[in-house]
Amino acid sequence: MDATTRIEQALASAIDSVATSGCPPRLAEAVRHSVFPGGARVRPRLCLAVAAACGSTDYAAADAVAASIELLHCASLVHDDLPCFDDSPLRRGVPSVHRAFGEPLAVLAGDALIILAFEHLARSLAATPERLGPLLLTVSRSVGMPHGITAGQAWECEPRVSVEDYHRAKTGSLFAAATAAGAQVAGADADAWRVVGDRIGEAYQVADDLRDVAASAQEVGKPVGRDALLNRPSAAGELGVDGAIDRLRQLVKGAIDAIPECPGRDKLAEVLMAESRHIMPKDLAQRAA
């Protein structure tokens, strides 16, 4: 089964396990709307690719970890789209959760997704309790305080912010968790893998900045030009489009160079190269080719 199918099935199965009879129907609907149809599923695919490169054979555990990471990513998008943050009317080409279901259900769907991510991890790793704690810490740190996504979003509320800290927390942390957790689920050392995720996360952030200045809203599925409008730090703004494309390439190369010794090193390098082409806006990918 390919990675995309495994991820979609793992996400559906996580949600099905709690969106059961007795659940408020609109909350269940809002949670599904937050997760399906999905975006590129970059983080869970990275997690599965690292687990495979490290020789993991516990597919169910790897799928659960990948799904938990994606659930947390979706939660952060739902809350980030709220009127008090970006007030985004669209996400992945459809109305954002608060536009489709109202603000209260958007707050609650985000909360429910965070909780589900941890519950799903606990349920899926019941047979290997010695792995649950370390995996849970890797995942929780990537979204909580002091350096996770929540902290990243909170930097937007500070009068002074280091652009590097901001991006590392808001975007990089969950990428680093994707590689670290992918290694952990295979019994490999997590720390050595964090830098791979860090660099891919940074590359992804540059690609996101590029999409914000250079792609169409239709291609991206959400409003573009928001960074300039909201006066947010942006690699494309600082380096120009060509400079940002160069930076993206260097980061992907850096990520590949940082891959620790493992059984599936070459295959993983190929996957990361393909990924870097995949995340670039279509027009720019042609220009960069």
Of 255, 244, 250, 237, the C-alpha closest to 201 is 255
Residue placing its CB nearer to a copy of itself in the complex, 127 or 228 = 127
51, 185 Cβ separation under 8 angstroms:
yes
- Least distance to a copy of itself from the beta carbon of 228, Å? 20
CA distances from 213 to 24, 184, 192, 208, 289 (A): 40, 37, 34, 9, 19
C-alpha 91 chain-centroid distance = 14
- Least distance to a copy of itself from the beta carbon of 162, Å? 10
Residue placing its CB nearer to a copy of itself in the complex, 42 or 116 = 116
Residue placing its CB nearer to a copy of itself in the complex, 233 or 260 = 233
What are all long-range contacts of 258-265, with beta carbons under 8 Å and residues at least 24 apart? 258/195, 258/196, 258/199, 259/53, 259/196, 260/183, 260/188, 260/189, 260/192, 260/193, 260/196, 262/53, 262/54, 262/55, 262/188, 263/53, 263/54, 263/55, 264/52, 264/53, 264/54, 264/55, 265/53
- Least distance to a copy of itself from the beta carbon of 120, Å? 9
**Side-chain half-sphere CA neighbours of 199 within 13 A:** 21
Footprint on this chain of a copy of itself (rule: CB under 8 A) = 18-28, 31, 75, 79, 82, 84-85, 101-105, 107-108, 110-112, 114-116, 118-119, 122-123, 125-126, 129-130, 132-133, 136-137, 140-141, 143-148, 150-151, 153-158, 165
SS3 121: helix
